[in-house]
Structure 1
Amino acid sequence: MSDPTEQEIRERAHRLWEQAGKPEGREEEFWNAAEQELRNEEKSNTLRTPDTL
């Protein structure tokens, strides 16, 4: 399991910021939310293992 890259976090944070209407002064909030979302997605993906027959 690897941590999300700075670029991945930046892109997700920007998308979240745009979806929220581009509020000023909340950069850290969006950065933290983006980082958490990416970590949760990765954790979820590693828990899913394909069934093997």
Structure 2
Amino acid sequence: MTEPTEQDIRERAHRLWEQAGRPEGRDEEFWNAAEQELRNEDRSNTLRTPDTL
């Protein structure tokens, strides 16, 4: 399992911030949400197994 990069988190946080209407003063909230989403995606990808080898 790989850790999300700072750039990945920054891009996801920016997207979440824009979707929320660009509210001020909630940088840390969006950063944490983005980081958690990326970690959850990574975890779900490692749990999947290929249908064929």
TM over 0.5: yes
Deviation, 1:26, is: 0.1
Q: How many residue pairs get matched? A: 53
Q: Runs of at least 4 residues of structure 1 off by over 6 A?
A: none
CA distance in 2 between counterparts of 1:45 and 1:17 reads: 25
State the match for 2:30 in structure 1.
Answer: 30
CA distance in 1 between counterparts of 2:3 and 2:32 reads: 13
Q: Structure 2, unaligned stretches of length 5 or more?
A: none
Identity of aligned residues (%): 87
Letter in 2 for 1:11: E
Q: Structure 1, unaligned stretches of length 5 or more?
A: none
RMSD: 1.0
